Structure formats: structure tokens, C-alpha cells
């Protein structure tokens, strides 16, 4: 059930809806890449700003272009603030870290007053095609469902085989349309037998200590 803002009054199986602005520590976990490396995944925090700037500066111009549909070598301070400050309900981003370095970001933004959210992903060049895009999509979908979102949408360039591969391989029933070399995709995020099989064994609870002062 949804109210006029598109939010459910409770999550699946009657679970309480997470509160906006409260850092969801329970979403922290460790994930295994397709190369067998174990990395830490957690919701983004405002104090990730410096790491995000560094991450962006080290991306190839091609990767940045794929994400922003423009050449955009540096993030402005305002963008960094917007990208790192989320409410964890209508806007949520996960980062992936290895050796305390940010190597991937995936996010959803709810389309106001709907049960739909737009997703976007960016994986550092060195770790592209290691399964992080798929893992981010799975964790975003799980978190979004608990926050009253039913459908993900995205826009990507028609020749972005990596992004289209992630959606195609996710096990979600993706529908798409194309206009002027931009593919729009949409899919319900309820798990399917295929999506469960796709992600089996790739995530485990984190053995890291929780942060001392979560924001
Ligand atoms: C697109 C992107 C997010 C995909 O993430 P990723 O971690 O590289 O993708 P994954 O390793 O999870 O790949 C998932 C599947 O997609 C397919 N795939 C990935 N990269 C591919 C490529 N370059 N060519 C063809 N298929 C590809 C594979 O089938 C893969 O499945 P597999 O693990 O069974 O091989 C990442 O490559 C990226 O950040 N690119 C630059 C920015 C960008 O394009 N962002 C999207 C903007 S909407």
C-alpha cells in the first residue's frame, strides 16, 4: 500500500519503514567480485566526499561520459554534496571499497510521488566487468523494495554494452525502448527465481566494526 508520496506505510512482511536521514548500518556487507576479491559495500555518507572526488578524478573520460552523457572531468562541490548526502529512503547510494579506496558507486533516486526510482552506476575502470555493477543493482533493489519502491528505470547509451549487460543479466524482467541512441529501461524489482540464482553466494555480512559515529 502507498500513500500520496509513493511511500508504503510498512515494508514487506510488515517490517517498519526505514526512517529518512538515519544511516542504515544493516545494509553494510561484504561482496565477492567475479575475480574472487572480497570488497566492502555500504551506504554512502557525507564524509565520503573526498574519496568520491578522488574516485571521479581517476575515471577514464570514457567512463565519465557513459555516466553523465557529457565530458565532466571534475565534480563541483555542490555535486559532491548532492551525491554524498542522501536520505537513505527516497535517495540511496552504495559505495564499494577495497583497501579503503572507493571503487564503485550505485544509486537510486525516487521519481517524486511514485513507486519508481531511477538508477545509475559507475565502476572504476580497473574493476569494470568484475561483477560489481550486478552486485550494486541487487543491493539497491533489495533496499529500494523495503522503502516502498517497486520499479527501477534507467537511461543509457545504446552502445553501452556493460550497462545493458548488467540489466540483461540481472534476472529482472527488463523492458526497453530506444530513441536517438538512448535506451530507456524499466523493470519491477521483485526478486525472480533467476535473479536469486544470479546473486547466490555473492554477499555476506560484513566482519568490519561499525563506524563509531554514523551520520
Ligand atoms: C556499466 C557498468 C556500471 C557495469 O558495471 P560492471 O561492474 O562493469 O558490470 P558487471 O561486471 O557487473 O557485468 C555484468 C554483466 O554485464 C555484461 N558486461 C559487462 N561489461 C560488458 C562489456 N564491456 N561488454 C559486454 N558485456 C558486458 C556481462 O554479461 C556481465 O556478466 P558476467 O559477470 O556474467 O560476465 C560499468 O562498466 C561502468 O561503470 N561503466 C562506465 C559508466 C557507465 O557506463 N555507467 C552507466 C551509466 S547509466
Ligand 1 in contact with 120 (CB < 6 A)? Answer: yes
Provide the residue ranges of all domains of the chain, joining segments of one domain with +. 39-205
Place of cell 565477492: 32
What is the pTM (predicted TM-score) of this model? 0.90
Report the C-alpha gap between 145 and 27 in whole angstroms: 13
Contact 62, 81 (CB under 8 A): no
Cα angle 83, 8, 42; round to 5: 35
Please determine, for residue 211, whether its predicted confidence score (pLDDT) is greater than 70: no
Provide Rg for the chain, Cα atoms.
16
- pLDDT of the residue at 213: 47
Ligand 1, atom 32, lies closest to the CA of 131
Please determine, for residue 13, whether its predicted confidence score (pLDDT) is greater than 60: no
Tell me which of 166, 169, 174, 186 to substitute to probe ligand 1's pocket, judged by most ligand atoms within 8 Å of the beta carbon: 166
User: pLDDT for 171-210, tens place per residue?
Assistant: 999 999 999 999 999 999 999 999 998 888 778 887 665 5
Ligand 1 in contact with 63 (CB < 6 A)? Answer: yes
- pLDDT of the residue at 3: 41
Contact 46, 85 (CB under 8 A): yes
Centre of ligand 1 to C-alpha 170, Å, is 11
User: pLDDT for 128-181, tens place per residue?
Assistant: 999 999 999 999 999 999 999 999 999 999 999 999 999 999 999 999 999 999
Ligand 1 in contact with 153 (CB < 6 A)? Answer: no
The distance in angstroms from the start CA to the end CA of the chain is: 30
Ligand 1 in contact with 144 (CB < 6 A)? Answer: no
User: pLDDT for 106-123, tens place per residue?
Assistant: 999 999 999 999 999 999
Centre of ligand 1 to C-alpha 164, Å, is 7
Contact 25, 210 (CB under 8 A): yes
Strand partners, 203: 31
Query: Which residues have a Cβ under 8 Å from the Cβ of 52 and sit 6 or more positions away?
Result: 44, 75, 80, 83, 84, 95, 102, 105
- pLDDT of the residue at 210: 56
Identify the DSSP state of 148: T
Query: Which residues have a Cβ under 8 Å from the Cβ of 179 and sit 6 or more positions away?
Result: none
User: pLDDT for 82-106, tens place per residue?
Assistant: 999 999 999 999 999 999 999 999 9
**CATH T-level assignment (fold) for domain 39-205:** Aminopeptidase (3.40.630)
- pLDDT of the residue at 198: 84
User: pLDDT for 25-45, tens place per residue?
Assistant: 999 999 999 999 999 999 999
Amino acid at each position: 500500500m502507498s500513500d500520496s508520496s509513493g511511500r508504503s506505510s510498512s515494508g514487506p512482511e510488515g517490517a517498519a519503514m526505514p526512517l529518512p536521514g538515519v544511516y542504515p548500518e544493516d545494509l553494510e556487507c561484504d561482496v565477492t567480485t567475479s575475480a574472487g576479491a572480497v570488497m566492502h559495500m555500504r551506504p554512502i555518507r557525507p564524509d565520503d566526499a573526498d574519496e568520491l572526488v578522488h574516485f571521479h578524478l581517476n575515471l577514464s573520460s570514457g567512463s565519465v561520459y557513459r555516466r553523465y552523457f557529457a565530458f565532466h572531468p571534475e565534480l563541483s562541490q555542490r555535486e559532491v554534496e548532492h551525491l554524498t548526502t542522501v536520505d537513505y529512503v527516497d535517495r540511496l547510494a552504495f559505495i564499494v571499497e577495497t583497501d579503503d579506496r572507493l571503487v564503485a558507486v550505485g544509486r537510486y533516486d525516487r521519481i517524486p510521488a511514485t513507486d519508481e526510482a531511477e538508477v545509475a552506476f559507475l565502476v572504476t575502470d580497473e574493476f569494470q566487468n568484475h561483477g560489481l555493477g550486478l552486485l550494486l543493482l541487487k543491493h539497491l533493489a533489495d533496499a529500494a523494495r523495503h522503502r516502498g519502491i517497486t520499479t527501477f528505470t534507467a537511461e543509457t547509451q545504446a552502445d553501452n554494452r556493460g550497462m545493458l549487460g548488467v540489466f540483461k543479466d540481472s534476472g529482472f524482467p527488463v523492458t526497453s525502448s530506444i530513441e536517438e541512441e538512448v535506451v530507456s529501461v524499466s523493470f519491477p524489482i521483485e526478486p525472480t527465481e533467476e535473479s536469486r540464482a544470479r546473486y547466490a553466494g555473492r554477499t555476506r555480512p560484513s566482519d568490519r566494526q561499525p563506524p563509531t559515529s554514523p551520520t
